[in-house]
């Protein structure tokens, strides 16, 4: 890259800032400018993890890491051999922002504050000579015969030799990419909660189960994990993972679907059946609602036995075979109607974006438009919750920044 070459990075999020720092550190002669439409950069970084910033996930095997991406895992396999969570942890530690790993594998700054990550990135960008322009709303990106032209809402026009689109899931950016030769997979929300209005859940907001198995009927999609009952339905890791893998299916069904919940995934149906019969004999004079079985929360257990047709004063010994069968069904395959989606406010993730085979994942350069690079969520890549979406941003931003540093 010669001293006259100008790199414009559109988008001041995780991917864009990582790319800018990497490019400028690798080649101090590069003229790197970030164009961010908001008043502050790194908006998602600031709010991630409830303000703690879930930087990445402690999964250090690229082959395993890609399994956490409903879309884009195959394309990321190679990139993760070059820059993966271990490298992310080392990168921040080397710049004065050490990270820590929690029991579930999520990685946070030791300060438990996203401000630490924001400050680290902005300091590194400033030290590397990156120019950061906020409130710089891009309205058009075009490629004349030589280089790129970037038009701003103010009427200003900027020239650039190379451009990185790191805008996240922004419809205007999809239009720019299309105009430069790319195909866009239609965007749809990923990582969301389920709206479920069901008498069995009414009034149980805040009740959680440590492990359930969820299955979307007629889709073949299923996930396991903790579940949280909310005022509007269901949330928790199991729901969020299922929403990510089922993002396209649920979008196409207008978020109307049938959900099966197995509250006892650690039990086989036969073992659960035998246990219920044993309790029926041993506690014949007791009422089923007086004590929860299978380590379920008592209030949830009481709702499930009522749904099975067991009356409030009925004793174990008086339960019919049909009631026991219905209770077993409620416990292992209860049917719940999903009526819509809610927001998961800690992460705003979209599936869809630039088609992956149109991008060289060694450099993140477009295969359709020389000099155009793409990184982060503008690509048709999305991960489940837990730091995986940020890792996609760090990795693709780092690769793009390295490639940009050698351009010219």
Structural domains in the chain, CATH included, are 6-189+345-405 (3.50.50.60), 192-343 (no CATH)
Predicted local distance difference test score (pLDDT) of residue 4? 65
CA-based nearest residue to 230, from 193, 263, 255? 193
Predicted local distance difference test score (pLDDT) of residue 2? 47
Predicted local distance difference test score (pLDDT) of residue 3? 52
Question: Could you give the residue ranges of the DSSP H alpha helices within 143-246?
Answer: 171-179, 237-245
The C-alpha angle 80, 81, 82, rounded to 5 degrees, equals 85
Q: Which residue has the tokens 């579930």?
A: 104
| pTM, two decimal places | 0.92
Which residue ranges of the chain lie beneath pLDDT 50? Answer: 1-2
The answer to whether 196 touches 339, Cβ cutoff 8 Å, is yes
CA-based nearest residue to 354, from 372, 371, 328? 372
The answer to whether 124 touches 394, Cβ cutoff 8 Å, is no
Predicted local distance difference test score (pLDDT) of residue 343? 75
Burial of 379 by CB count in 10 Å (0-12 exposed, 13-18 middle, 19+ buried)?
A: buried
Predicted local distance difference test score (pLDDT) of residue 185? 97
Predicted local distance difference test score (pLDDT) of residue 296? 98
The answer to whether 106 touches 54, Cβ cutoff 8 Å, is yes
The two tokens of residue 293 are: 């079985």
Predicted local distance difference test score (pLDDT) of residue 408? 57
Cα 161 to Cα 29: distance, rounded to the nearest angstrom: 14
Cα 380 to Cα 219: distance, rounded to the nearest angstrom: 21
Predicted local distance difference test score (pLDDT) of residue 345? 61
Predicted local distance difference test score (pLDDT) of residue 146? 87
Cα 88 to Cα 391: distance, rounded to the nearest angstrom: 8
Q: What is the CA radius of gyration of the chain?
A: 25
CA-based nearest residue to 377, from 401, 359, 350? 350
- Give, for 326, the enclosing helix (H) or strand (E): helix 321-333
- Give, for 149, the enclosing helix (H) or strand (E): strand 148-152
The answer to whether 183 touches 326, Cβ cutoff 8 Å, is no
The answer to whether 300 touches 209, Cβ cutoff 8 Å, is yes
Predicted local distance difference test score (pLDDT) of residue 1? 45
DSSP 211: E
Q: Which residue has the tokens 């988008």?
A: 11
Predicted local distance difference test score (pLDDT) of residue 348? 72
Strands 162-165 and 372-374: parallel
């Amino acid at each position: 890259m010669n001293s006259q070459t100008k790199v414009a990075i559109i988008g001041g999020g995780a991917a864009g800032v990582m790319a800018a720092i990497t490019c400028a550190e690798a080649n101090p002669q590069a003229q790197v400018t970030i164009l961010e439409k908001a008043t502050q950069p790194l908006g998602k970084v600031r709010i991630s993890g409830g303000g703690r910033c879930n930087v990445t996930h402690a999964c250090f095997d690229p082959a395993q890491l890609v399994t956490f991406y409903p879309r884009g895992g195959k394309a990321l396999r190679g990139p993760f051999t070059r820059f993966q969570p271990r490298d992310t942890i080392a990168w921040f530690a080397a710049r004065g922002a050490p990270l820590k790993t929690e029991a579930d594998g999520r990685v946070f700054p030791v300060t438990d504050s996203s401000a630490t990550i924001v400050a680290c990135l902005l300091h590194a960008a400033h030290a590397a000579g990156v120019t950061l322009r906020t409130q710089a709303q891009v309205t058009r990106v075009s490629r004349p015969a030589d280089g790129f032209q970037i038009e701003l809402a103010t009427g200003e026009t900027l020239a650039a030799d190379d451009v990185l689109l790191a805008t996240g899931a922004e419809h205007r950016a999809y239009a720019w990419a299309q105009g430069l030769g790319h195909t866009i997979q239609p965007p749809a929300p990923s990582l969301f909660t389920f709206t479920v209005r069901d008498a069995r859940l009414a009034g149980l907001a805040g009740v959680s189960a440590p492990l359930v198995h969820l299955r979307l009927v007629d889709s073949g999609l299923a996930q396991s994990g903790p579940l949280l009952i909310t005022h509007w339905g269901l949330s928790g890791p199991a729901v969020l993972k299922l929403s990510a893998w089922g993002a396209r299916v649920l979008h196409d069904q207008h978020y109307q679907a049938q959900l099966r919940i197995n509250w006892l995934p650690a039990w086989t149906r036969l073992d659960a059946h035998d246990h219920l019969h044993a309790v029926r004999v041993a506690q014949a004079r007791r009422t089923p609602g007086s004590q929860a079985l299978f380590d379920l929360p008592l209030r949830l257990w009481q709702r499930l036995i009522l749904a099975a047709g067991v009356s409030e004063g009925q004793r174990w010994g008086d339960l019919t075979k049909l009631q026991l069968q219905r209770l077993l069904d409620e416990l292992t395959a209860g049917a719940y109607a999903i009526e819509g989606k809610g927001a998961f406010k800690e992460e705003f993730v979209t599936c869809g974006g630039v088609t992956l085979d149109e991008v060289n994942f060694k450099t993140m350069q477009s295969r359709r438009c020389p000099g155009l690079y793409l990184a982060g969520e503008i690509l048709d890549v999305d991960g489940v919750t837990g730091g995986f979406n940020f890792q996609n941003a760090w990795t693709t931003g780092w690769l793009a920044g390295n490639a940009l540093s050698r351009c010219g």
